[in-house]
Structure 1
């Protein structure tokens, strides 16, 4: 396909496409989605392989893939309850700390153990909820390492686990990840449909405590991302408004439940990211400064790292190159593995690296860690 035709299908100028290809402009998620649609490939194909050591990571991913495939045939025995509880806690911690490689090593055995426990439980909702939680951790790994086929299969398994018993919260968490697969593929309208359906279902379920607030609020935050990337300002504002109303019910730090973080702090981060997607990076950059100096209480490295990445995006868009570099260094410090493989961090880094080349040692170091420089 010619560059002229690709640019036309992406609805951008040929000059802008050339700047993206030469590293003078970042490829935003909607533009990557447009390119993938035009070329009839996945967004993961456009972004490329994030593995620093492909052979090792692919072997680990294949181990996880095998366990997910045989989801009803766990080969592990039922572990002692204390051992399982400790492993579940460890998995959630590794996910929150963005230590994806350690999590990837843990997941195959843990997934088998959790499934074996649930199958022997006689239909215990807590046991099956734990299986769904492990699948949520597995989704985070597949998503971050850009394995869309595996992520889709994991979401199906997570939904399967959530539906083994009456567990509306587990189903809502599965829907959050399901919408995430559409987000990753650039199919924002379909992702919004998933979110809206899940919200309606969850609002009709009994319960009005903090668990309800966290799951419902998280669905609205997913809606914020999808609507803003779909360039639907009205839907974005509606999801932000409803998320803020729910966040007001949380007194104190943001809460982390079933791998979902929700509260005033995370809501502010999603609103900041939406401003970037809706072409208001100046507002996002203004908000990002105070948040980076004092991140909201209760946010784990996974969220603080994403804050720094979005701050870098906003600063790059406002031509604050030094500020963008500083924000990236912040992300590499608090969430190193996320910063190395997150597509938006890599896009900002690619542009900064192209513009400055080897004149800035810190950029060179980050580029090497991300596999963008030798």
Structure 2
């Protein structure tokens, strides 16, 4: 998907120099040591999400500016994103007629599967037409909750693509459309799914406290609105708590992360047979374990994360799709790299490229881990060279 696109660590250096700042000055504004910033810029330490948030705040730019786009070739991906952006902007003016409902249902199911499989380009090719068809159905159906729920779920698929491809402005616009559709369903699960993505936009922007506020508000709203003892409620509330786990761990709020984690574990116990998928939210004991592992990495406990990863990598939990297994591999690679387990990190990253190649090629943390691995005396390793080429990193390294 990329020809040549810099990573977050490289962009920090470029932006710093554009401002005319030295490393000591930026490091001081970020609240980190100059030696750590030097390592981040030269590629011997990864630019973690909290570090990117600190750099963005210090330099007065968005985190999206630092992450950049994961591809530099203005080819098919960019053209497809432009088509999606136009469709989302014209959300009440669909240019497609109302399709046969069985055909639309098949298209929606295919979109959900493509999202779960992280096949982003294939999904992008289908989204504009599908969104317009689903919009036409919902607008004609008036107050039909099912039609609006389908549209809300489809916007959830669109958000996943825009978010993963580094399109912050498009992600924000999609979330507003998803909320618009979800509010017409009278379905609290659809609204929870929209809130989960809304909090995700704050997470991507490094605004962790605000994201936690969105999560807490959505949980209270759901709990006040009806029953919480159903499987649907467990998925909605459990997923919101998992979003809280990530936000709290990146904010280094140990109390909040522990509280969200305990609530998520309690809801996950209702699914002893494995994780389930509802409204594009995967929830159960497996995904809860993956979020706990990721939180340990963010909280500076890579040894605990690596220990958890061993059985999960060996036998992935039932019910998890490629997007979740790929993320497990990326978090495992980061934890092992923090422990200076170079070969273990390389093995985990290779696994990520095997199970979720399109995600691994563009995921900011996967690209940062690969950059560090490549620089740390790994230039002669053919597999790393191949991964670097696929991820568009070779011209810069």
Note the 1:36-55 alignment, pairs <5 A: 36-51=56-71, 53-55=73-75
Q: What residue in structure 2 maps to residue 222 of structure 1? A: 243
2:106 matches 1:103: no
Match of 2:171 among 127, 148, 151: 151
In structure 2, what is the Cα distance between the partners aligned to 1:124 and 1:162? Answer: 12
Distance 2:381 2:342 in 1: 12
1:86 aligns with 2:106: yes
Query: SS in structure 2 opposite 1:261?
Result: strand
Partner of residue 288, structure 1: 309
Cα distance in 2 for partners of 1:181, 1:356 equals: 36
Aligned to 1:171: 191
Aligned match for 2:359, one of 338, 347, 358 = 338
The equivalent residue for 1:121 is 141
Cα contact 2:111–2:123 (8 A) shared by 1: yes
Gaps of 5+ in 1: none
Count of equivalent residues: 374
SS in 1 for 2:141: coil
Q: Could you state the TM-score of these two structures normalised by the residue count of structure 2?
A: 0.93
Residue 357 of structure 1, CA deviation: 4.2
Distance of 1:180 and 1:105 partners within structure 2: 24
Query: What pairs with 1:68-83 in structure 2 (closer than 5 Å)?
Result: 68-83=88-103
Unaligned runs of 5+ in 2: 1-20
Residue of structure 2 aligned with 1:135, choices 155, 159, 162: 155
TM-score (norm 1): 0.99
The answer (yes or no) to whether the contact 2:88–2:173 under 8 Å persists in 1 is yes
Give the Cα–Cα distance (whole angstroms) in 2 for the partners of residues 98 and 167 of structure 1.
27
Alpha-carbon distance in 2 for matches of 1:49, 1:268: 30
Structure 1 position 40, deviation (Å): 1.5
1:349 to 370, 382, 385: 370
Deviation of 1:54 (Å): 2.7
Write out aligned runs for 1:2-21 (5 A): 2-21=22-41
CA distance in 2, matches of 1:7, 1:157: 39
1:233 paired with 2:259, answer no
The CA deviation at 1:355 is 1.0
CA distance in 1 between counterparts of 2:124 and 2:273 reads 32
Counterpart CA distance in 2 for 1:165 and 1:129 is 6
1:59 aligns with one of 79, 84, 91? 79
Whole-Å Cα distance in 1 between the matches of residues 378 and 256 of structure 2?
Answer: 40
Aligned to 2:340: 319
What is the distance in 1 between the residues matched to 2:355 and 2:219?
A: 32
Give the superposition deviation at 1:37.
1.1
Instruction: Provide runs of 4+ in structure 1 moved above 6 Å.
Output: none
Offset of residue 39 of structure 1: 1.4
The answer to which structure, 1 or 2, has the higher relative contact order (CA under 8 A, 6+ apart) is 2
Distance in 2 of aligned mates of 1:63 and 1:172:
27
Per-residue displacement from partner, 1:276-314 (whole Å, max 9, x unpaired)?
000000000011011000000000000000000000000
Deviations 1:114-138 (A, max 9, x none): 0100111131101000100010001
The answer for the alignment partner of 1:251 in structure 2 is 272
Does the residue aligned with 1:72 lie in a helix, a strand or coil? Answer: coil
Structure 1 residue 315: Cα displacement: 0.1
User: What is the distance in 2 between the residues matched to 1:247 and 1:221?
Assistant: 11
Q: Secondary structure at the match of 1:79?
A: coil
Deviation at 1:251, TM superposition (A): 2.6
2:211 aligns with 191
Structure 2 residue 321 is matched with structure 1 residue 300: yes
Alignment check: 8 A CA contact 2:146 2:185 kept: no
CA contact (8 A) 1:162 1:174 kept: yes
Aligned-pair RMSD on alpha carbons?
0.9
